[in-house]
């Protein structure tokens, strides 16, 4: 009798447990900080678009995995001609768009031609600048001809801005995206959430989840409360690092700490006096205590960097010693530049907390060596207008999240206004080289140049911080590109 | 009478026209270009130019104003720059939350304020009066966003009676359960919004009642032998209600937009959040339309109140 | 009830004490705070209230008590200046409207008033700071604009009844211009009304400033403000609840103090209410 009761109780417990996990088994609700303005990744920069649709709804010829590697996507294989100019891609067979139309070489031609066209509003048009023509050889084969050698082509094609769209559904792509991915777009309540459902006709390994809801919560405190109250199953890119210890201490949650491609830097207006003097920029670099910023602004999450390059990249060169924290040296350098009495400059801060908090810490550190800063907090739209396009700033803090973006320093009109012919030559050379060893050499030289020129204050590599229900697995830990790839996410049984 | 009415309508139309002009000009000078915001930091100038063309941002300011104005008259608020959906639809979606929230808060505030105000007025000078008035002082002084924060910690996080925010995906749904879920989601925000309003209203109720209680006709009624309670319910309350109803009308208009910070705390996708988002995204047409709508609401409430006063008071009618 | 009795009335005394405390804190903060207000000190971040950090430290290691003292300065300054704008513009408008009762000027001023009233103040304040950038000055302007119609209306209301008084009529007959009458006879007599309303608008200004700062549109860092302190405390409320508690209490008590004082003043100035109290 006793035995019977025990087993009955056990069964009930198992049933209850099973019931709980069953309710969860088929879908997830994932929190994201930013809502996309629309859902066409090929006509806007918003990382928030990729965050929802990349790999889930839309796929490209190649695709990023969570470890940052570039892998076959809609192209299963490719060959390149000896001169490196003609690339032939063999496409996956039996692929259907979500509206039932089939995916063919003509769709690739359409997508790439649309992205690089004159009137295109693709935000990363530069990715396609070396493409001379795209032709369909047959339904399953596409040939891309380049105007010059481009060692980055496969990498470029993996971006969310290069995904394949269909001419049949292009008109309404912004509100009803039709792709080839493992999830179909289902519903969007603007200002609130986007729902995806599993694509039963998916050509590859089908998704484990029946459906997924992305919920947009911009306020860090609301994100915290929603996770704590159990309203969300996961939050990708959790905006309040101060709470991770809280989540770690709670068995309900898993904290995922990974890397992003975001070099967080104290951008400096290189053409604005006194920052046109390298000694002043060097003084800035030595006045900054990176560890204090990482501890204070990010609660310890983040890797110090000494140049504009991601530390997890094999080609990274550690240059942090070149700009170690040394206020004495900073003061001496300022005196040498004739600014012994200090000076005043502007520090314009965009919304993310790394910038707002980091800004207050940096302001205190700079004050310590005699540099006064006037802090202005800006929204992104204002930041773009004033700082990025207007170049009306002394200092600003921003994380450059595009992968492998050291090339921006070769653009003298970029908002840092850094002009160095040698560096520009290095980058030009890099674009034409595909031998790995030679590339590493050039990349190292470029990193050293930036570090020695103290172009910007290099602070830290932004960490990818996510919080998830501890029973959820398969989420990306790192963020090689902005994405929340749910194709292999599932509830642990 | 008709002349009075026509004059009021004229001034209503003029107010709305001036308001629309002020809003349009104010919003259009906001620095920040919607197109460059949408395309981000790696966009090339010609790409931005192409998008500006697509969004219809290249025509003159006046042309845009007239398109907007004439559109609004036909119920068409234009198309959002960022979402590419009709603004009217977006407003409708948000109204599903903001309108019930405002009504909910107003009902709560009235339910609290009426008894409290009446109680305080009838027991003037007593300990009850003092404590009711003390509580209303606190209610007015407490910043509602702080109150909301504290409520979230207590009722959502610790007690788990309510969720920390958000609105159920089912919306108001079809079933009773859906409806209750929606009400539940709006409860904490409604309380946060209602508290200061209730405090103000209770004070207005009390002083308005006190005013009428000292009027001659009340004294007459008392002298005629009506009991204190009868006078209160039959005469005083009815007359005291006019200023109270005016306040309620204005509070309603205020609550529609006043939830902007509360909506932020509870991440409710209502009108306030819409306007906040639209300002940061430089979705100017949305900002203009929502502000216009809110102003419209207040002007209409004022107009109605005015008209009601006019109808009640013949002197006003002929005097102006 | 005599004035001396009244000054001893509980509400007024409590209000006066609270207001004095915060004004004093603001004044002292100009010369002295326990710790430097912008003293970022990462190793000492998030210390719970204890000696020497009586109210604890925030996420950047700054002393909360020092920040609250300096924050009082900001709150008071913004609210006072906003009331100042409201009075400086609103009172002359109200006087002019009353002096020209029923004429076009009166109509324009009152319509303009209604129009400003019709705008949702917080939304417009957000718009203004979005246009001109977030700063203390713009917060003052944004709050001040909405004080203008309040003072215009109350001045006009008070002035209208005065214009019917005999001594005003005789001054008129004596040939005094309406501007002179407004300044010499009307203004001093509506002063009481203005002081009472000023106190109320002052407390509303403090709440408005806190709201604007809470959404990041008030005074900019490193200058502390109560609203921003509250906003920054939101994500730390589980681990360091005192960060949310103290600035909130500061706002509550200041506003409460001002309101109690305002009520007291109204009772003092309004003979009718004093009668009713008896």
Any A CB within 8 A of B41 CB: yes
How far is Cα A326 from Cα A343, in angstroms, rounded to an integer? 19
Asked whether the predicted pLDDT for residue B320 surpasses 60, the reply is: no
Domain extents in chain B: 2-73, 91-318
Residue with tokens 């009668």: C275
How distant, in Å, are the alpha carbons of A403, B242, C223, C238 from that of C209? 41, 32, 14, 26
Average confidence score pLDDT of chain B: 82
Q: Which two tokens stand for residue B277?
A: 């988002």
Q: How far apart are the first and last CA of chain A?
A: 31
Chain A nearest C-alpha distance from C223 (Å) = 10
A-contacting residues in B 146-165 (Cβ below 8 Å): 149, 152, 156-157, 160, 163-165
Minimal C-alpha gap between A295 and chain C (Å): 7
Contact residues, chain B, for C127 at CB < 8 Å: 26-27, 30, 279, 287, 291
- Contact assessment for residue A293 and residue A358, using Cβ atoms and an 8 Å cutoff: yes
Measured between alpha carbons, how far is A39 from A338 in angstroms, rounded to an integer? 53
pLDDT at C151: 94
Residue whose pair of structure tokens reads 């197109």 in the numeric block: B35
| Nearest-Cα residue of chain B relative to residue A388 | B41
A361 chain-C contacts, CB cut-off 8 A: 40, 42, 60
Is a pLDDT exceeding 90 seen at residue A319? yes
What subunits touch chain C, counting only 3 or more CB pairs under 8 A? A, B
pLDDT recorded at residue A54: 94
- Tell me the C-alpha distance between B287 and B294, whole Å: 11
State residue A182's pLDDT score: 95
pLDDT in tens, A349-406: 998 889 999 999 999 999 999 999 999 888 887 788 889 888 999 999 999 988 888 9
Q: Please give the mean pLDDT across all residues of chain A.
A: 88
Distance between CA atoms of C202 and C18, rounded to whole angstroms? 14
Q: Is the predicted pLDDT of residue B43 greater than 70, yes or no?
A: no
Residues in chain B within 8 Å Cβ distance of A385: 31-33, 36
**Within 13 Å of residue B76, how many CA atoms lie on the same side as its CB?**
8
Lowest mean pLDDT among A8-22, B177-191, C50-64: A8-22
The domains of chain A, with CATH numbers, are 22-41+46-54+180-258+464-491 (3.40.190.10), 62-172 (3.90.76.10), 261-462 (3.10.105.10)
Cis peptide preceding C52, ω within 30 of 0:
yes
Closest-CA residue to B32 (of A36, A383, C128):
A383
Q: Does position A21 have pLDDT exceeding 50, yes or no?
A: no
Is B153 within 8 Å of C237 when comparing Cβ atoms? yes
Contacts of A243 in chain C (CB under 8 A): 235, 238-239
Rounded percentage of chain B residues whose pLDDT exceeds 90: 13
Residues 64-93 of chain B with CB under 8 A from chain A are 82-85, 90, 93
Q: Searching chain C, which residue's CA lies closest to the CA of residue B8?
A: C111
Residue B143: predicted pLDDT: 92
Fold type of domain B91-318 = MetI-like fold (1.10.3720)
Across the interface, which of A123, A126, A215 has its CB nearest the CB of B40? A123
Residue A1 has pLDDT above 50, yes or no: no
The answer to whether C252 contacts B141, with C-beta atoms less than 8 Å apart, is: yes
**pLDDT of A409 strictly over 90:** yes
Neighboring chain C residues of B157 at a CB cutoff of 8 Å = 238
Q: What percent of chain B has pLDDT over 70?
A: 89
Please count the CA atoms within 13 angstroms of the CA of C196 that sit on its side-chain side: 16
Of C38, C60, C239, the CB nearest to A296: C60
A346 strand-pairing partners = A374
C223 touches chain A (CB under 8 A): no
Which residues in A lie closer than 8 A to residue B41 (C-beta atoms)? 45, 384, 388
- Alpha-carbon distance of C109 to A213, in angstroms, equals 53
pLDDT (0 to 100) of residue A129: 85
One of 1.10.290.10, 1.10.3720.10, 1.25.40.10, 3.40.50.300 is the CATH number of C76-251, namely 1.10.3720.10
Assess contact for C98 and C163: CB atoms under 8 A. yes
For residue C5, what pLDDT is reported? 57
Of C118, C126, C251, the CB nearest to B302: C118
Mind telling me how many Å the CA of C248 is from chain B's nearest CA?
A: 6
- Counting beta carbons within 10 angstroms of the beta carbon of residue B100, is it exposed (0 to 12), middle (13 to 18) or buried (19 or more)? middle
Question: What pLDDT, in 10s, does the model give residues A119-166?
Answer: 788 878 888 888 999 999 999 999 999 998 887 899 899 999 999 999
Does residue A223 have a pLDDT over 80? Answer: yes
HEC profile of chain C: CCHHHHHCCHHHHHHHHHHHHHHHHHHHHHHCCCCCCCCCCHHHCCCCCECCECCCECCCCCEHHHHHHHHHHHHHHHHHHHHHHHHHHHHHHHHHHHHCCCCHHHHHHHHHHHHHHHCCHHHHHHHHHHHHCCCHHHHHHHHHHHHHHHHHHHHHHHHHHHHCCHHHHHHHHCCCCHHHHHHHHHHHHHHHHHHHHHHHHHHHHHHHHHHHHHCCCCCCCCCCCHHHHHHHHHHHCCCCCHHHHHHHHHHHHHHHHHHHHHHHHHHHHCHHHHHHHC
Q: For residue B54, which residues of chain A lie inside 8 Å, CB to CB?
A: 121
List the single range of B37-46, B285-294, C238-247 with lowest mean pLDDT: B37-46
Which is it for strands A193-198 and A211-216: parallel, antiparallel or unpaired?
Answer: antiparallel
- Phi, psi angle pair for A272, to nearest 5°: -95, 125
Residues of chain C with pLDDT under 50: 1, 273-278
Angle at B47 between CA B42 and CA B51, to 5 degrees: 120
Of B40, B50, B149, the CB nearest to A46: B40
Q: Identify the residue among A28, A44, A174, A225 best suited for mutation to test binding to B, counting B beta carbons within 10 A and taking the highest.
A: A225
Tokens 């209610």 identify what position? B139
Which candidate in C119, C121, C129, C257 is best for mutational testing of the B interface (most B CBs within 10 A)?
C119
- Mean pLDDT lowest among A83-97, B62-76, B188-202: B62-76
Distance from CA of B5 to the nearest CA of A (A): 41
B127 — pLDDT class (breaks 50, 70, 90): confident
pLDDT of residue A14: 38
Q: Does C236 reach chain A within 8 Å, measured CB to CB? A: yes
Min CA distance, A240 vs chain C (Å)?
7
The reported pLDDT for the residue numbered B177 is: 82
Q: Count contacts between A and B (CB, < 8 Å).
A: 130
Reported as a single tens digit per residue, the pLDDT across C11-28 is 788 899 999 999 999 999
CA distances from A482 to A46, A159, A239, A257, A344 (A): 10, 9, 15, 15, 36
User: Maximum distance among all alpha carbons in chain C?
Assistant: 76
CB nearest to C111's CB, from B15, B27, B298:
B15
Chain A positions contacting chain B at CB under 8 Å are 35, 37-38, 44-46, 118-126, 174-175, 189-193, 195, 213, 215, 217-219, 221-222, 225-226, 228-229, 231, 379-382, 384-386, 388-389, 402
Q: Do C124 and B291 touch (CB under 8 A)?
A: yes
Chains that touch A (3 or more CB pairs under 8 A): B, C
Q: Collect all residues from A whose CB is shorter than 8 A from any CB in C.
A: 219-221, 224, 228, 240, 242-243, 245-246, 292, 295-296, 356-357, 359-361, 363-365, 367, 375-379, 382
With CA atoms as reference, the chain C residue closest to B255 would be: C120
The pLDDT value recorded for residue C272 is: 52
Q: What integer pLDDT is reported at residue A174 of this predicted model? A: 86
- C127 → closest Cβ in B27, B258, B299: B27
Radius of gyration of chain A (CA): 25
Q: Does C130 touch chain A (CB under 8 A)?
A: yes
B57: which chain A residues are within 8 Å (Cβ-Cβ)?
none
Residues in C touching B18 (Cβ below 8 Å): 115
Output the 3-class SS for chain B.
CHHHHHHHHHHHHHHHHHHHHHHHHHHHCCCCCHHHHHHCCCCCHHHHHHHHHHHCCCCCHHHHHHHHHHHHHCCCCCECCCCCCEHHHHHHHHHHHHHHHHHHHHHHHHHHHHHHHHHHHHCCCCHHHHHHHHHHHHHHHCCHHHHHHHHHHHHHHHCCCCCCCCCCCCCCCCCHHHHHHHHHHHHHHHHHHHHHHHHHHHHHHHHHHHHHHCCHHHHHHHHCCCCHHHHHHHHHHHHHHHHHHHHHHHHHHHHHHHCHHHHHHCCCCCHHHHHHHHHHHCCHHHHHHHHHHHHHHHHHHHHHHHHHHHHHCHHHHHHC
Query: What is the arithmetic mean of pLDDT over B87-107?
Result: 90
* Pairing mode, strands A472-473 and A27-32: unpaired
Contact across the interface for C111 and B295, Cβ inside 8 Å: no
Query: What pLDDT, on a 0 to 100 scale, did the predictor assign at position C271?
Result: 55
Sheet holding A131-138, edge to edge: A75-80, A86-91, A141-146, A131-138
For chain A, percent of residues with pLDDT exceeding 70? 95
* C59 interaction partners in chain A (CB closer than 8 Å): 242, 296, 357
C215 Cβ under 8 Å from any chain A Cβ: no
pLDDT of residue A20: 36
Q: Which has more confidence, A219 or A302?
A: A302
Q: How far is C252 from chain B (nearest CA, A)?
A: 5
Q: Which of C134, C221, C239 sits opposite A360 (nearest CB)?
A: C221
Cα separation, C221 vs B221, in Å, equals 62
Q: Could you tell me what percent of chain A has a pLDDT over 90?
A: 65
Q: Which residues of A touch B166 (CB under 8 A)?
A: 192, 215, 217, 226, 231
Is the ipTM above a cut-off of 0.90?
no
**Residue A5 confidence (pLDDT) above 50:** no
Mark yes or no for CB contact C235/A224 under 8 Å. yes
């Amino acid at each position: 009798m006793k035995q019977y009761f025990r087993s009955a109780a056990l069964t009930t417990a198992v049933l209850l447990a099973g019931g709980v996990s069953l309710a969860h088994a088929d879908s997830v609700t994932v929190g994201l900080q930013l809502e996309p303005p629309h859902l066409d990744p090929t006509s806007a920069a918003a990382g928030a678009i990729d965050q929802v649709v990349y790999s889930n709804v839309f796929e490209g010829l190649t695709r990023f995995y969570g470890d940052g590697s570039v892998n076959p996507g809609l192209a299963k294989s490719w060959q390149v001609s000896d001169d490196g100019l003609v690339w032939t891609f063999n496409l996956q067979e039996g692929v259907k768009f979500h509206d039932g139309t089939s995916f063919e070489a003509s769709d690739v031609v359409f997508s790439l031609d649309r992205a690089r066209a004159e009137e295109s509003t693709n935000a990363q048009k530069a990715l396609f600048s070396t493409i001379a023509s795209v032709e369909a050889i047959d339904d399953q084969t596409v040939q891309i001809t380049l105007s010059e050698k481009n060692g980055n082509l496969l990498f470029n094609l993996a971006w969310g801005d290069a995904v394949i769209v269909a001419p049949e559904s292009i008109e309404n792509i912004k509100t009803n995206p039709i792709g080839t991915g493992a999830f179909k777009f289902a519903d969007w309540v603007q200002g609130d959430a986007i729902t995806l459902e599993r694509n039963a006709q998916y050509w590859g390994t089908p998704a484990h989840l029946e459906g997924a809801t992305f919920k947009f919560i911009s306020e860090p405190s609301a994100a915290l409360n929603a996770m704590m109250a159990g309203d969300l199953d996961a939050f990708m890119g959790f905006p309040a690092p101060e709470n991770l210890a809280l989540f770690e201490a709670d068995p309900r949650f898993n904290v995922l700490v990974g890397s992003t491609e975001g070099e967080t830097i104290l951008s400096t207006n290189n053409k604005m006096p006194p920052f046109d003097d390298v000694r002043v920029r060097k003084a800035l670099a030595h006045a900054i205590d990176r560890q204090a910023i990482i501890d204070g602004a990010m609660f310890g999450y983040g890797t110090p960097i000494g140049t504009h390059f991601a530390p997890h990249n094999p080609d990274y060169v550690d240059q942090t010693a070149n700009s170690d924290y040394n206020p004495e040296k900073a003061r001496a350098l300022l005196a040498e530049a004739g600014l012994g009495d200090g000076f005043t400059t502007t520090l314009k801060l965009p919304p993310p907390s790394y910038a707002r908090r980091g800004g207050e810490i940096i302001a205190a550190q700079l004050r310590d060596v005699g540099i006064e800063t006037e802090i202005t907090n800006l929204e992104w739209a204002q930041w773009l207008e004033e700082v990025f396009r207007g170049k009306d700033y002394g200092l600003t803090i921003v994380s450059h999240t595009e992968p492998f973006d050291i090339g921006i320093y070769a653009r003298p009109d970029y908002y840092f206004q850094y002009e160095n012919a040698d560096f520009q030559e290095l980058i030009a050379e890099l674009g034409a080289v595909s031998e790995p060893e030679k590339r590493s050499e050039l990349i190292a030289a470029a990193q050293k140049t930036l570090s020695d020129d103290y172009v910007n204050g290099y602070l830290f590599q932004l960490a990818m911080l996510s919080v998830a229900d501890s029973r959820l697995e398969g989420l990306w830990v790192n963020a090689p590109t902005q994405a929340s790839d749910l194709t292999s996410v599932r509830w642990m049984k | 009478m008709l002349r009075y009415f026509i004059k009021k309508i004229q001034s209503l139309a003029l107010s709305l026209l001036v308001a629309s002009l002020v809003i349009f000009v104010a919003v259009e000078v906001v620095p920040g270009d919607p197109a460059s915001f949408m395309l981000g930091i790696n966009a090339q100038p010609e790409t931005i130019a192409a998008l500006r063309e697509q969004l219809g941002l290249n025509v003159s300011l006046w042309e845009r104003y007239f398109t907007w104005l004439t559109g609004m008259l036909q119920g068409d608020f234009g198309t959002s720059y960022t979402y590419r959906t009709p603004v009217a639809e977006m407003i409708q979606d948000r109204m599903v939350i903001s309108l019930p929230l405002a009504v909910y808060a107003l009902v709560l505030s009235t339910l609290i304020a009426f008894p409290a105000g009446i109680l305080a007025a009838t027991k003037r000078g007593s300990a009850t009066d003092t404590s009711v008035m003390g509580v209303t002082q606190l209610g007015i002084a407490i910043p509602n966003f702080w109150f909301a924060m504290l409520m979230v910690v207590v009722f959502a996080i610790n007690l788990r009676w309510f969720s920390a925010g958000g609105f159920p995906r089912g919306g108001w749904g079809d079933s009773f359960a859906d409806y209750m879920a929606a009400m539940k989601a709006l409860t904490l925000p409604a309380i946060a919004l209602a508290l200061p309003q209730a405090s103000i209203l209770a004070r207005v109720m009390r002083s308005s009642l006190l005013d009428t209680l000292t009027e001659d006709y009340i004294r007459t009624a008392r002298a005629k032998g009506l009991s204190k309670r009868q006078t209160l319910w039959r005469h005083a309350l009815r007359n005291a209600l006019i200023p109270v109803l005016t306040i309620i009308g204005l509070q309603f208009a205020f609550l529609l937009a006043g939830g902007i910070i509360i909506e932020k705390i509870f991440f409710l996708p209502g009108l306030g959040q819409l306007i906040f988002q639209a300002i940061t995204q430089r979705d100017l047409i949305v900002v203009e339309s929502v502000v216009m709508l809110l102003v419209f609401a207040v002007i209409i409430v004022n107009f109605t109140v005015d008209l009601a006063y006019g109808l009640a008071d013949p002197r006003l009618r002929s005097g102006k | 009830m005599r004035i001396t009795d009244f000054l001893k009335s509980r509400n007024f005394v409590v209000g006066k004490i609270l207001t004095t405390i915060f004004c004093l804190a603001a004044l002292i903060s100009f010369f002295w705070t326990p710790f430097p207000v912008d003293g970022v000190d990462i190793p000492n971040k998030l210390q719970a209230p204890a000696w020497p950090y009586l109210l604890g430290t925030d996420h950047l290691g700054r002393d909360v008590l020092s920040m609250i003292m300096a924050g009082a300065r900001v709150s008071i300054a913004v609210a006072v200046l906003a009331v100042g704008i409201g009075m400086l513009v609103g009172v002359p408008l109200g006087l002019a409207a009353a002096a020209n009762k029923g004429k076009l000027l009166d109509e324009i001023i009152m319509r303009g008033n209604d129009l400003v009233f019709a705008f949702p103040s917080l939304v417009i304040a957000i718009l203004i700071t979005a246009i001109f950038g977030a700063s203390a000055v713009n917060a003052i302007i944004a709050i001040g604009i909405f004080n203008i119609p309040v003072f215009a209306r109350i001045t006009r209301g008070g002035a209208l009844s005065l214009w019917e008084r005999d001594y005003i009529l005789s001054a008129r007959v004596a040939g005094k211009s309406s501007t002179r009458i407004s300044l010499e006879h009307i203004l001093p007599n509506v002063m009481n009304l203005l002081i009472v309303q000023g106190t109320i608008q002052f407390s509303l200004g403090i709440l408005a400033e806190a709201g604007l700062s809470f959404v990041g549109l008030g005074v900019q860092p490193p200058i502390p403000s109560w609203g921003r302190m509250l906003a920054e405390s939101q994500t730390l409320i589980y681990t360091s609840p005192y960060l949310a508690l103290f600035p909130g209490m500061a706002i509550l008590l200041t506003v409460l103090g001002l309101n109690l004082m305002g009520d007291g003043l109204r009772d003092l100035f309004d003979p009718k209410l004093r009668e009713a109290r008896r």
